[in-house]
Amino acid sequence: MKKQVFKTVSLMTILLIVILQTNAQFRRGPRLISPQINEDNSVTFRLNAPDADNVAINGSWMPGYYGKQVDVAKGDSGIWSITVEGLAPNLYTYVFLVNGMRVLDPQNPQVMREGAGSDNYVIVPGKESEVYTVQDVPHGTLSSVWYPSPTLDKNRRMSVYTPPGYEEGDKEYPVFYLLHGAGGNEDSWPSLGRANCILDNLIADGIAKPMIVVITNGNSWSAAAPGEAPAGENAERLKGPGSGDRNGFENSLVNDVIPFIEKNYRVIADKDHRAIAGLSMGGMHTQTITNSNPGIFSYIGVMSAGLRNNPRFGGNNYDQEAHIKQLKALQESGVKLYWIGCGEEDTAKEINIALRKLYDDLGFKYVYRESPGGHTWANWRLYLSELAPLLFK
Amino acid sequence: MKKQVFKTVSLMTILLIVILQTNAQFRRGPRLISPQINEDNSVTFRLNAPDADNVAINGSWMPGYYGKQVDVAKGDSGIWSITVEGLAPNLYTYVFLVNGMRVLDPQNPQVMREGAGSDNYVIVPGKESEVYTVQDVPHGTLSSVWYPSPTLDKNRRMSVYTPPGYEEGDKEYPVFYLLHGAGGNEDSWPSLGRANCILDNLIADGIAKPMIVVITNGNSWSAAAPGEAPAGENAERLKGPGSGDRNGFENSLVNDVIPFIEKNYRVIADKDHRAIAGLSMGGMHTQTITNSNPGIFSYIGVMSAGLRNNPRFGGNNYDQEAHIKQLKALQESGVKLYWIGCGEEDTAKEINIALRKLYDDLGFKYVYRESPGGHTWANWRLYLSELAPLLFK
């Protein structure tokens, strides 16, 4: 009898869903499949836009990506579609442009957001994209954690990844501090960078050591990602990045974040079990932090960033002599890996060349990885998947 | 000397940002302020769309909301704008409709996503919206946690809120299981429902007891939210909600989730320290779980759901006699609070009336809360903010 009621109530639930979903269906329009990954790994994108004059698509597979677009063809019943051939296995972001306006694919719940811009994404399956794909492997825990920052005089939010088994065991782990770029926040590496997914997969395959990953918010004027910070921060936000305390973030990472992590998590608290890496602005933060604090990190990664000796930046009071002195102290402190990654068409390419020239001149050892493409999350995901296996070994 | 280099590198960072943000600016178009909250709490929304034929806005302040829209006026230089007056303090979601297509506000990084549909949001400040606004109060930790579900034969993802102080202390806490509706997942209550924000504020004000909140994924066919589940789940997703094991989710909550939480968190593991509530489909799940398992929960909340005795659902094998037997057993088990909430224009209103009529006929005690509006997150946020203070007291 009990079982029958149980079944009945479940049927009720299903029927209720049908009724209540009417609203949701209304919002989404007719049911289309988009994106559709075809057997040959081409991908078909479809959009229902009967009143549009023109529809295009902007996708991260396009060389240059930002601002690039390809026309989408109008078919029957106002359904526009395009099939993109020859996509290598990877994670691609895209958005429709309807009469020039950015429109998300209403059929695709997979969305990544950077700053105020959202894009859909699709993963073309294959060996190269496996590491970006959630697999049926043990998953770590991803937490939004608030911590006090006396340096910045506020409580701030970060993302912390603890590897599978952390909660159940009593083992101590190394810690990897992972920094985002301008326009990003503590959500960027987990969402756009798929950091927890990549770490889960690398750890499951035995390619990377189990580690804690600490993803900070590098905007010193900000407590947290948009919508997660206390009200009133908006006024500060409008001043723009870097408007806060000079070196506030860099100082707070050393003075606030590391002590908080080492007090509240089971970590191995020494140089050989600390790594730091960052992309773009985060690559500059990484340099500032490690140059000014030799002996804290044995593993250092700089992605799509470089040295400021580029004439585009105009006059400055850069002190090369002092910089060199810092680098020598850093080298003497015993860096096990200094990893530099940059895209072939990266907007940071030129200043990256200048950085490497200085290091070469000094005999400052580093590993260099250049990859096709530009200043993109496609490259930073790739770099994370290649750098994480080199840490703590 | 060290300090000077530190300053210099920081200046480098800022200049680098300017260069590298060119891409981001390209994507976002010219700098506008939108939404702008004016001194009288009216809100101005602006969109740069020089080529659009018509622009409208759909906002949750409009009666009926879904499918409703108001025209936005075209001004100089292709900037469209509208000022909405007389908005009561609350959190409002909105989206532009450009030539009929849903377009997110490119100036507003605050986005909420439900299923495949994303909306921007804005909070009109005031006493009534304080509870939905991130305040400078102690914040709990929100974690994405994977757990084994032998009942559903997969690992699954849930969101767990631990209150401020949990990590540092050794106190044991009561647990509130909070269930989403059709189309939702384990991210819905934290994002659309602002559950962790609401709990932070209520706990800081001493209005709610510190508690752990466990937010499950009620789709038994699914491991996790879109993009977070292992590849291959998509095929199952397309079968639609409820295609999985009948009562799979309800059974798994009792057999898998509660034991996992009580093993891995510091909880008070008895009936008087367990609460459960759900909205819509989650309200049906709540009924199934509590009706079939008397003596597990002392606090029960049913939001925007009801009894299936509505002719719209057609013929069924509902067994009222068995249902009544269950309710009597539940009542005898000692329920301290049975809370029912429903909107005045809720799509679930009719079946909710039927539910309450049955309870009234049986003398089954409950507290009823009816609020203006319909089957919306505005109501579910309100219900959470009113129900949480009543728990564990």
Q: Which chain A residues are closer than 8 Å to B254 by Cβ?
A: none
> Per the CB < 8 Å rule, is B26 touching A67?
yes
Q: Are B47 and B34 in contact (CB under 8 A)?
A: yes
Say whether B350 sits in a helix, a strand or coil: helix
Specify the amino acid at residue B297: F
Q: Which chain B residues are closer than 8 Å to A15 by Cβ?
A: 308, 313, 316
User: How many angstroms separate the CA atoms of B313 and B129, rounded?
Assistant: 37
Q: Which chain B residues are closer than 8 Å to A45 by Cβ?
A: none
Closest Cα to residue A293, out of B6, B319, B201, B364?
A: B6
Q: Which chain A residues are closer than 8 Å to B108 by Cβ?
A: 116
From A8, A15, A108, residue closest to B319, measured CB to CB: A8
Q: Considering only alpha carbons, which residue of chain A is nearest residue B139?
A: A146
Would you call B390 exposed, middle or buried from its count of C-beta atoms within 10 A (0-12, 13-18, 19+)?
Answer: middle
> Per the CB < 8 Å rule, is A326 touching B2?
yes
Q: How far from each other are the two terminal CA atoms of chain A, in whole angstroms?
A: 60
Q: Which chain A residues are closer than 8 Å to B15 by Cβ?
A: 308, 313, 316
Q: Which of B1, B3, B4, B5 to mutate to test the interface with A (most CBs of A within 10 A)?
A: B5
Q: Are B351 and B305 in contact (CB under 8 A)?
A: yes
What distance in Å separates residue B140's CA from the closest CA in chain A?
Answer: 7
> Per the CB < 8 Å rule, is B142 touching A144?
yes
Q: Is it true that the peptide bond before A35 is cis, omega within 30 degrees of 0?
A: yes
Q: How would you classify the pairing of strands A337-343 and B175-179?
A: unpaired
Q: Dump the DSSP string for A175-244.
A: EEEEE--TT--TTHHHHTS-HHHHHHHHHHTTSS---EEEE----TT-SSSTTTSPTTHHHHHHT-TT-S
Q: Which chain A residues are closer than 8 Å to B203 by Cβ?
A: none
> Per the CB < 8 Å rule, is B123 touching A231?
yes
pLDDT tens, position by position, A98-131: 998 999 999 998 999 877 688 999 999 999 999 9
Closest Cα to residue B214, out of B251, B240, B253?
A: B253
> Per the CB < 8 Å rule, is B143 touching A144?
yes
Closest Cα to residue B276, out of B144, B392, B139?
A: B392
How large is the ipTM?
0.89
What distance in Å separates residue A206's CA from the closest CA in chain B?
Answer: 19
User: How many angstroms separate the CA atoms of A157 and A367, rounded?
Assistant: 32
Rounded average pLDDT over A230-243? 55
Specify the amino acid at residue A341: G
Least confident of A111-125, A180-194, A225-239, B155-169: A225-239
Location of each CATH 2.60.40.10 domain in chain B: 29-131
Here the tokens at position B35 are 């939404």
Query: Rounded mean pLDDT of chain A?
Result: 88
Q: From residue B325, how far is each of A1, A148, A381, B331 by CA, in Å?
A: 10, 53, 56, 10
Using only C-alpha atoms, chain A has a radius of gyration, in whole angstroms, of 23
Q: Which chain A residues are closer than 8 Å to B116 by Cβ?
A: 28, 105-109
Q: Which of A2, A4, A13 to mutate to test the interface with B (most CBs of B within 10 A)?
A: A13
> Per the CB < 8 Å rule, is A5 touching B285?
no
From B155, B241, B326, residue closest to A5, measured CB to CB: B326
Q: Strand ranges (DSSP E) for B197-286?
A: 212-215, 274-279
CATH code for B134-390? 3.40.50.1820
From A101, A312, A318, residue closest to B98, measured CB to CB: A101
The distance between the two most distant Cα atoms of chain B, rounded to a whole number of Å, is 84
What distance in Å separates residue A314's CA from the closest CA in chain B?
Answer: 10
What 8-state DSSP symbol labels residue A324?
H
**Count of other CB atoms within 10 angstroms of residue B51:** 12
Specify the amino acid at residue B13: T
Q: Are B88 and B124 in contact (CB under 8 A)?
A: yes
User: How many angstroms separate the CA atoms of A188 and A170, rounded?
Assistant: 29
pLDDT at residue number A232: 67
pLDDT tens, position by position, B226-262: 889 997 665 555 444 444 456 899 999 999 999 999 9
What distance in Å separates residue B199's CA from the closest CA in chain A?
Answer: 14
Q: Which chain A residues are closer than 8 Å to B136 by Cβ?
A: 154-155, 230
Grade residue B71 by pLDDT with cuts at 50, 70 and 90. Answer: very high
Q: How far from each other are the two terminal CA atoms of chain B, in whole angstroms?
A: 60
The percent of residues in chain B predicted with pLDDT above 90, rounded, is 75
The percent of residues in chain A predicted with pLDDT above 90, rounded, is 75
CATH code for A30-128? 2.60.40.10
pLDDT at residue number A233: 64
Q: Helices in chain A by DSSP H: which ranges?
A: 2-28, 188-191, 195-204, 233-238, 248-252, 258-264, 281-292, 320-332, 349-362, 377-387
CB pairs under 8 A between A and B: 323
Q: How would you classify the pairing of strands A79-84 and A175-179?
A: unpaired
Three-point CA angle B268, B269, B270, nearest 5°: 105
Q: Which chain A residues are closer than 8 Å to B16 by Cβ?
A: 182, 280-281, 284, 305, 308, 348, 351
Q: Dump the DSSP string for A331-354.
A: HHTT-SEEEEEEETT-TTHHHHHH
pLDDT tens, position by position, B77-91: 899 999 999 999 999
> Per the CB < 8 Å rule, is B318 touching A8?
yes
Q: Which chain A residues are closer than 8 Å to B326 by Cβ?
A: 2, 5
> Per the CB < 8 Å rule, is A318 touching B125?
no
Location of each CATH 2.60.40.10 domain in chain A: 30-128
Tell me the CATH class for B29-131: mainly beta
pTM of the predicted structure, to 2 decimals: 0.90
Rounded average pLDDT over B188-207? 97
What distance in Å separates residue A272's CA from the closest CA in chain B?
Answer: 24
Q: Which chain A residues are closer than 8 Å to B322 by Cβ?
A: 1-2, 4-5, 8
Q: Are B351 and B368 in contact (CB under 8 A)?
A: no
Rounded average pLDDT over B122-151? 96
Q: Which chain B residues are closer than 8 Å to A179 by Cβ?
A: none
Would you call B332 exposed, middle or buried from its count of C-beta atoms within 10 A (0-12, 13-18, 19+)?
Answer: exposed
B130 pLDDT above the threshold of 90: yes
Residue B195 φ then ψ, to 5°: -60, -45
> Per the CB < 8 Å rule, is B117 touching A167?
no
Closest Cα to residue A307, out of A382, A248, A361?
A: A361
Location of each CATH 3.40.50.1820 domain in chain B: 134-390
pLDDT at residue number B317: 64
pLDDT at residue number A308: 66
Q: Are B185 and B224 in contact (CB under 8 A)?
A: yes
From A49, A312, A318, residue closest to B8, measured CB to CB: A318
**Count of other CB atoms within 10 angstroms of residue B136:** 14
Q: Are A43 and A87 in contact (CB under 8 A)?
A: yes
Closest Cα to residue B160, out of B39, B266, B282, B287?
A: B266
A28 pLDDT above the threshold of 90: no
User: How many angstroms separate the CA atoms of A231 and A233, rounded?
Assistant: 6
What distance in Å separates residue A192's CA from the closest CA in chain B?
Answer: 11
From A98, A116, A133, residue closest to B231, measured CB to CB: A133
From B6, B135, B230, residue closest to A292, measured CB to CB: B6
The distance between the two most distant Cα atoms of chain A, rounded to a whole number of Å, is 84
pLDDT tens, position by position, B281-339: 999 999 999 999 999 999 999 999 988 654 444 446 678 889 999 999 999 999 999 99
User: How many angstroms separate the CA atoms of A290 and A278, rounded?
Assistant: 12
Q: Which of A1, A2, A11, A12 to mutate to test the interface with B (most CBs of B within 10 A)?
A: A12
Q: Which chain B residues are closer than 8 Å to A347 by Cβ?
A: 19-20, 22-23
pLDDT tens, position by position, A199-221: 999 999 999 999 999 999 999 98
pLDDT tens, position by position, A135-171: 999 999 999 999 999 999 999 999 999 999 999 889 9
> Per the CB < 8 Å rule, is B134 touching A230?
yes
pLDDT at residue number B21: 42
Q: Which chain A residues are closer than 8 Å to B25 by Cβ?
A: none
pLDDT at residue number A1: 37
Distance between alpha carbon A293 and the CA centroid of its chain, in Å?
Answer: 25
B182 pLDDT above the threshold of 80: yes
Q: Is it true that the peptide bond before A164 is cis, omega within 30 degrees of 0?
A: no
Q: From residue A253, how far is each of A263, B272, B296, B364 by CA, in Å?
A: 14, 43, 45, 56
Q: Considering only alpha carbons, which residue of chain B is nearest residue A311?
A: B15
User: How many angstroms separate the CA atoms of A13 and A16, rounded?
Assistant: 5
